[in-house]
A and B are shown apart, each in its own frame.
Chain A
Amino acid sequence: MQFMYAWFPTGSDAPELRYVLHPGRGQTPHIWRCRSGAESPPSLAPAAPLLSWYERETTDLCGVAFRDQPVPDPLVLLPGAAAERPPLMPGPLPHLSYTPVPLPMPDLAGTTREDVQLLPFGPVRADVLESTQLAFYYIGEAILHYQPRLFFKHRGMEKRFEGLSPALGTVLAERVSGVGSVAHALAYCHALEAASRCEVPSRATWLRVLLAELERLYNHLHYLGYLCHTTTLKVGEAQGKYLEELAKQVNCQISGSRLLRGLVVPGGVRREPTLLTLAEDLVRIEHELRRYADQLAATSSHLDRLITTGVLDRQLAFDQGATGPVERASGIDRDSRRDQPYGAYDELPLSVAVRDGCDAHARQQVRVEEITHSIALIRAVLDGLPEGSLRADCRPPPGGEGLGWAETPRGTAYYAVHLDTAGRLARVKIKSPSFSNWRVFPYTVHGTNMMDYAINEASFGLTVAGCDR
């Protein structure tokens, strides 16, 4: 099971539920369709726990209630927020009223009820961080229970797509999760290309691989610097951030945007990237990186803080749908670039990094290895870049629909796109990897201690923007 969503077929007020499954390596996704009748559909969360959040989101945004949902609280709209009508239902924009209410937390029982302190941080947290509230049941150093309260940043992005022309949607997709601009744009374009069945020129698919891997590169370098920040390895932090900066400058040189925006477009890429000095720059980054990674792997003060921190066992990772480096560090060998290949990945030498340490250290190892794989992929693209056109005509038919996906630096992003009769976007469902990984993350925090929390959070490499949309 990957995810589920609801959409309103043209001219209908009755939503249709879609469940998306990826059965296995090399197979196309299965899509289950379900029209809800008079009776509300049953919750599948007890059988597939990862569906819990999707069902709650569907309740909030599409007004579909699920029978026997284990956690009947609102999710995407904060408690205390009320929309006149479900926001994703076709029609005029609803007004949203909001009166903040205290954070719902599990009940406490027992004679020592008074000994537990509720310790909230945020939504405005120290340092330059994304807004989210973290609530702990705290007992002095130790964490009894942890609950992040996300969706302070819910911007209604899925609604923003509605009514746009498919081409303009790319600009929006790039701005769903800023540090995943390429992958989100790719997943969106893949969905449109699937809807229109257009053939993307091979030069464009190769260039897209190059862009996607450059995105992975700067994200993973940022990740290393930030992880060092949480283990207070100051020089390591500076070096990681410096390498990230170099990678971003390379991005800027190639695409004109430090976040690699503005190149991916349905049917191909918009213009020829500037690749003149890329090979040279890669050598420089790789040289610095090798020494840096070796040092990190040999620094016991750093490793001591990572090993056995934030343990995510395989079963939990699978049940809750962890994705990307997080699941691969828990021994699950999944990567949509290889398993459900798109673009030029099946023509290129792709290795998948897997570790079974299940802890913050394993997650670091997976990312370090992925950096070297990404550099190798970029090299392979530079060496074998085919000639040809950059862009094919991609006009999805009116009423069409498509499903696309791409492996972001944080895991698999899915876009499901439905078009209306005028060929404009009618419904765009975004399944971002952070939505999955934020759901998994709290289970690795219960019963641990505060000193490890920041390290654990950094080791997951989460973004709030992608999750909240």
Chain B
Amino acid sequence: MPELLIAAFWLWAAGLLFALARMTGVARWLIVLGVTSGLWSAFGALPAGGGWLNLPVALADQVVRLHYSPEALWLMGFGLVPAALAAALCTPIQRARPAWLVGAALSLLGALGIYGVQDAYSFLIAWELMSLGGAVMILSESTSLEAGRRTLYMLALLEVGAVSILLALLLLAQHDGGAVAFDGFALGAHTLSTSARIVIGVLALFGFGAKLGLLPFYEWFPGAYGNGSGATGAILSGVVLNAAFFALSRTLVDWLGSGSGLSTLGIIVTTIGTLTSILAALYAFQQDDWRRLLAFSSAENAAIAVTAIGASILFRAGGENALAGLAWTVAVLHLSGHALAKGGMFVGADGVYSAGGTYRLAQRGWLRRANWVFGLGTLFAAMSLSAMPPQIGFVTEWFTFQTLFQGFHLATLGGRLTLALAGAGLALTAAIAFATFIKAFGIGLLGDGHRPQAARIGSGYASAALLLGLAVLAAAVGMPLWLHGLEGANVTQFGANAARAMTTGWLLVPLTDTFAFISPTLLVIVMPLIALLPLLLLLNGRRHAVRRARVWYGGLQEDPERSATTSLTFSNAMRTFYSFIYRPTADTAREHRAVAYFISKLQFEHDVADVFGPALFDPIRKAVWRLAGRLRALQSGDLNFYLGLIGALLIVILALTLR
């Protein structure tokens, strides 16, 4: 069935053309159809993986050939589920739709390439296409100067990342005797020196990290995402994020995964992953905009997967191939589950925006103003992202911890220590993420503080949220079955079938059931049984007459308008506690009558400071500006200057040829 992927390619290309022709309706459904056929083929081809496909496009007279490995299909498939719904719902901003569909199609085409192409040239083109698509989507939705500046800043950073990827690929190609096809990269890289391996690894980490939001890039992430819609977010943190992760995993694990210098590389990757997850989680918690919060959270989840990749490299360095396979599988699982759950939240955010006109997190009683399935879907998604059983997020996060806990199998102190610290770091991350989604769901959806006259959330958003929520649950409950899909990938990469060893009947185990086990499948059966007790008590209570009293409010009538918990009051305590990271600012201006004692008006502003912005990005940006200012002379339009330039050039050429 992989041939359907070619169909997807054509459908998206057609969608792109129709969108360019501003035929929004047709373009939209062509793209959705493409996503569906992509989904169908991706899951249909598991666990074997796809054969070779020829893309009827020639690059430099060479036919582009595609080959999809099982993990590529897996990651793409999970990423396409929210993409299908996002494309179907489209951006909630009407005027942006044609351009947005262009961006979406570009992103999808690029991602399709990244999962499949097997040579460096095509890969880079696909990568650029994907970045461009993301930028087009965001720019289409927000046309303000500030939004444009931030999006172009994102593109610039992605280009810096692309240069880094280019360098890494060139170095790998050089070791493969100059061939740009990927099939020889692994063999060639086996003989790399320790330092060369680390340099290539770090280049890849930097380059792909720009897209994944790894340290230090997680800071631009929300700046750009925060101007897009939920639909954009669902595509960017689903299929696109997974593609970037797939590319990173292929570089680090497939190509660089054997030979010398592995432990150092593993320690670097694990450290970067852990630190990113903590920082991204901390900043996610402080956001009061749906999109920014979810964007930081995407960076955090990508970082958790990268941490698991780091663990995989460390296990490989220690000769623990089974554990390496486990860690890698866990990373793949984590991002696949994340794509579903994050998609659900982004769809929810769009539902809020389409009804209320703002992405601000505030108590507006949205659950009350939506079909109940909307609440169910977003609740499941939020539970998953905060790692609550039995959802998929709980399963994958549990697996992540179980993997890191097995660091004691390693012989080296460095490896053990790194994994132990990573475990502690991820524990902190998990706690903050938990609080973050309590806040997002509690204040953003459940809370009913303000009651302005507002529209209800549309049934389209409710259904989409429900579908994704149920997918989150199904992914967890059926995990023992779904894991078969990754068996093929495991054997080829690690010579050990981790995916098969991760289940025992309906139990999920980290290779052995003597260490630990869980079973979301059984939990789903047992949890309703446990709920019987309170339900019976509730029924029993109905025998007595119920007298309902108002909410106790210290003796006065409740004033929910003004006294609802706000996004800031929920998170300010953490801001104070972690002030050495946040470096929060708060300015209060007091207006008064007559003398300062009679305060009549308060003006309050607050913010948290970026970690890398002022120290790293700002100096670089300033340097670039300065350089650009100097080079502007080249565009001065002064004829004499150009003549002088041509003269100087001639002299140089003459000097070179007459040597």
Contact = CB atoms under 8 A, between A and B. Distances in A.
Contact of A112 (B553, B554, B568, B592): B568
B598 A52 contact: yes
B360 A114 contact: yes
A215 B557 CA distance: 39
A133 B163 CA distance: 63
Contacts of B562: 102, 117-118
B601 A109 contact: yes
Given A46-B595, A120-B559, A123-B556, A139 B603 contact: no
Interface in A300-355: 319-320
B598 A70 contact: yes
A116 interface: yes
Interface string B587-610: 010101111011111111110000
A383 interface: no
B575 A123 contact: no
Nearest to B577: A141
B568 A140 contact: yes
Given A70-B593, A116-B566, A117-B566, A125 B602 contact: no
A223 interface: no
Interface string B507-540: 0000000000000000000000000000000000
Contacts of B412: none
Interface in A24-53: 45-46, 49, 52
A422 interface: no
Nearest to A102: B559
Interface in B536-556: 553-556
B602 A145 contact: yes
Nearest to B563: A118
Nearest to B554: A122
Contact of B586 (A106, A120, A124, A142): A142
B572 interface: yes
B570 A140 contact: yes
B576 interface: yes
B545 to A, nearest CB: 26
A218 interface: no
Interface in A415-450: 443, 447, 449
B571 A123 contact: no
B567 interface: yes
Contacts of A447: 588
Contacts of A7: none
B139 to A, nearest CB: 24
A124 B602 contact: no
Interface in B592-643: 592-595, 597-606
Interface residues of A, number: 43
A115 interface: yes
A52 B598 CA distance: 9
A106 B559 CA distance: 16
A106 B565 contact: no
A233 interface: no
Contacts of B600: 106-107
Nearest to B362: A114
Contacts of A100: 556-557
Highest count of chain A CB atoms <10 Å: which of B553, B557, B568, B586: B568
A133 B556 CA distance: 10
A110 interface: yes
Contacts of A449: 576
Contacts of A145: 599, 602
B606 A112 contact: yes
A144 B605 CA distance: 11
B569 interface: yes
A78 B588 CA distance: 28
Nearest to B596: A49
A109 B603 contact: yes
Given A106-B600, A123-B555, A115 B593 contact: no
A98 interface: no
Interface string A126-141: 0000010100011111
Contacts of B566: 114-117, 139
A260 B374 CA distance: 66
Nearest to B569: A140
Nearest to B572: A140
Contacts of A131: 555
Nearest to A108: B602
A107 B602 contact: yes
Contacts of A110: 603-605
Contacts of B568: 112, 115-117, 139-140
Highest count of chain A CB atoms <10 Å: which of B288, B557, B569: B569
A111 interface: yes
A117 B569 contact: yes
Contacts of A139: 566, 568-569, 572, 586, 604, 606
B120 interface: no
Given A49-B595, A70-B593, A140 B575 contact: yes
B556 A71 contact: no
B288 A115 contact: yes
A46 B595 CA distance: 6
Contacts of A116: 566, 568, 604
Given A46-B595, A102-B559, A115-B568, A141 B576 contact: yes
Interface string A278-297: 00000000000000000000
B564 interface: yes
Interface in B343-375: 360, 362
A443 B597 contact: yes
A116 B557 CA distance: 20
B573 interface: yes
A123 B556 CA distance: 8
Nearest to A43: B594
A310 to B, nearest CB: 17
A427 to B, nearest CB: 29
B601 A107 contact: yes
Given A110-B603, A110-B605, A115-B566, A70 B572 contact: no
Nearest to B553: A120
Contacts of A118: 559, 562-563
B605 A109 contact: no
A102 B590 CA distance: 22
Contacts of A242: none
A133 B575 contact: no
Contacts of A319: 597
A321 to B, nearest CB: 11
Contacts of B599: 106, 145
A244 to B, nearest CB: 27
Contacts of B571: 140
Closest 9 CB pairs of A and B: A140-B572, A115-B568, A140-B569, A70-B598, A124-B555, A118-B562, A46-B594, A70-B594, A70-B593
11 contacts: A49-B597, A49-B598, A106-B601, A110-B603, A117-B568, A117-B569, A120-B563, A122-B555, A139-B568, A139-B572, A447-B588
Given A49-B598, A106-B601, A114-B360, 12 more contacts: A46-B595, A71-B593, A109-B603, A116-B568, A120-B563, A138-B569, A139-B586, A139-B604, A140-B570, A141-B572, A320-B597, A443-B597
